[in-house]
């Protein structure tokens, strides 16, 4: 077949009219073949990211819940039956406002009886005072003995003591009776009213849960390993879950206690500016632990053997892939924060599984990583 093709070419070349066309065709074929060979022999293309140090935040992201700054469970000091509820969920309450009334029939009757005893004691005191005044006048004129005056004085003092005792009993029963009208210990809003009219309660029963109206705090549990580095006053960015609107907050308290069952520590944050957020709302919080003005971060998929001997593939000046040992910060950020091993201008392979150390490649630069999302 090759001989036949060779003879065919010789025949075409011997024809002066066809010779230029044949030569051009042969030249095009040689160029195409050479180009195909060059294309197939090219080094593979690898995506890289060029290191550009810049501001890097070491941050901790948690989900917090909104809680009133002051939260009070209102209970009755006495057992009994609720006969009237004066407020419901969402009501705004002034300090001292009545919330509920508990039946106090016996206590009210006792208060009435003690009031009557006080009135009787006061009348007895008035009678003893008149008798003493009369006896003293008679004694001054010589018509009553000293013994009679002493007796009248003793009766007066006994009546005074009786009135004091009756008044104290009346005040005590009145105070106890007032306890059956449950009042708000602070101004706020009713968050929960878990009882109904007619319900029999005990001193352990929560009648209302009140929350402060203006001030709120954010509460979150963080792993003990990360809670150790958190400090009061650290800045944070917060946003309601599902919202892009960010507001500033600061850590107001780090609990010294670690929950032995979960290994978590409770932290509290306060918004920098007053915020009106419903209690119980979830909030995405990013706590700024530290900042590096010239930090380096790379996507975590670029790291090889991250848990043992972390390294990355770097494309050198000769377009050769080399393995570079690195140290990464032990922190749960989206991108790996590099402590050492990389410098400005290094070209890090984004998909190390697609190549190997020593390979000759063509680097295709992607957008540089400057500030990682944490």
DSSP 276-305: ---TT-EEEEEEEEEEEEEEEEEEGGG-BS
Kindly tell me if the per-residue pLDDT of 186 is higher than 60: yes
Q: Are residues 148 and 109 in the same domain?
A: yes
The pLDDT assigned to 140 comes to 85
pLDDT band, residue 30 (cuts 50/70/90): low
Residue where a domain terminates, one of 232, 266, 291: 291
* Section 325-342 average pLDDT: 89
Find the CATH number of the domain harbouring 300.
Answer: 2.40.420.20
- Number of domains, the chain: 3
Report residue 103's pLDDT band, with 50, 70 and 90 as the boundaries.
confident
- 17 within domain boundaries: no
Query: Range of 132's domain?
Result: 74-183
pLDDT higher than 90, residue 279: no
Q: Are 96 and 142 found together in one domain?
A: yes
Domain's final residue, options 291, 317, 345:
291
Confidence class of residue 372 from pLDDT cuts 50, 70 and 90?
Answer: very low
Q: Is residue 71 packed enough to be buried (19+ CB in 10 Å), middle (13-18) or exposed (0-12)?
A: middle
Mean of all residue pLDDT scores within the chain: 85
| Rg (the chain; Cα; Å) | 45
Q: Are residues 263 and 240 in the same domain?
A: yes
3-state secondary structure of 271: strand
- Domain identity same for 340 and 280: no
Percentage above 70 pLDDT, the chain? 85
Kind and range of the H or E run holding 183: strand 181-183
Query: Among 132, 167, 183, which residue terminates a domain?
Result: 183
Read off the pLDDT of each residue in 122-141 and give the average, rounded to a whole number: 88
Q: Is residue 226, in this structure, part of any structural domain at all? A: yes
Query: What's the pLDDT band for 373 if we cut at 50, 70, 90?
Result: very low
Q: Given this model, what pLDDT does residue 16 score?
A: 62
Percentage with pLDDT > 90 across the chain: 40
Task: Tell me whether residue 175 is in a domain.
Answer: yes
The answer on 360 and 306 residing in a single domain is yes
Report pLDDT digits (tens) over 43-98: 788 999 999 998 988 889 999 999 998 889 999 998 888 989 999 998 999 999 99
Q: Which of 322, 329, 343, 327 lies closest to 372, judged by CA?
A: 329
160 with 230, same domain: the answer is no
- Domain presence at residue 13: no
Q: Are residues 231 and 330 in the same domain?
A: no
pTM (whole model) above 0.95: no
């Amino acid at each position: 077949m090759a001989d036949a093709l060779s003879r065919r070419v010789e025949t075409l070349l011997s024809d002066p009219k066809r010779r230029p066309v044949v030569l051009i065709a042969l030249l095009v074929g040689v160029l195409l073949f050479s180009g195909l060979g060059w294309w197939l022999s090219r080094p593979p293309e690898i995506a890289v990211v060029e290191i550009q140090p810049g501001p890097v935040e070491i941050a901790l992201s948690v989900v917090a819940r909104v809680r009133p700054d002051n939260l009070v469970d209102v209970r009755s000091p006495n057992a009994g039956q609720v006969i009237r509820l004066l407020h419901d969920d969402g009501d705004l309450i002034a300090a001292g406002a009545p919330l509920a009334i508990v039946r106090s029939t016996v206590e009210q009757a006792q208060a009435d009886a003690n009031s009557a005893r006080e009135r009787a004691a006061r009348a007895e005191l008035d009678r003893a005072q008149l008798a003493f005044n009369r006896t003293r006048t008679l004694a001054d004129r010589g018509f009553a003995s000293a013994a009679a005056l002493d007796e009248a004085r003793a009766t007066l003092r006994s009546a005074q003591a009786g009135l004091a005792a009756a008044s104290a009993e009346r005040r005590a029963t009145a105070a106890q009776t007032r306890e059956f009208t449950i009042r708000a210990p602070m101004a706020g809003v009713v968050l929960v009213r878990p009882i109904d009219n007619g319900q029999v309660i005990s001193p352990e029963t929560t009648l209302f849960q009140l929350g402060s109206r203006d001030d709120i705090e954010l509460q979150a549990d963080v792993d003990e390993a990360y809670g150790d580095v958190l400090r009061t006053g650290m800045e944070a960015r917060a946003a309601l879950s599902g919202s892009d609107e960010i507001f500033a907050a600061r850590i107001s308290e780090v609990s010294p206690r670690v929950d032995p069952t979960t290994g978590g520590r409770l932290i509290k944050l306060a918004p920098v500016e007053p915020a009106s957020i419903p209690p119980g709302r979830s909030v995405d919080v990013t706590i700024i632990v530290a900042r590096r003005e010239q930090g380096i971060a790379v996507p975590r998929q670029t790291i090889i053997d991250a848990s043992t001997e972390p390294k990355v593939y770097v494309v050198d000046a000769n377009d050769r892939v080399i393995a570079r040992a690195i140290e990464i910060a032990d922190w749960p950020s989206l991108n790996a924060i590099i402590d050492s091993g990389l410098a400005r201008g290094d070209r890090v392979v984004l998909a190390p599984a697609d190549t190997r150390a020593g390979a000759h490649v063509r680097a295709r630069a992607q957008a540089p990583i400057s500030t990682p999302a944490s």
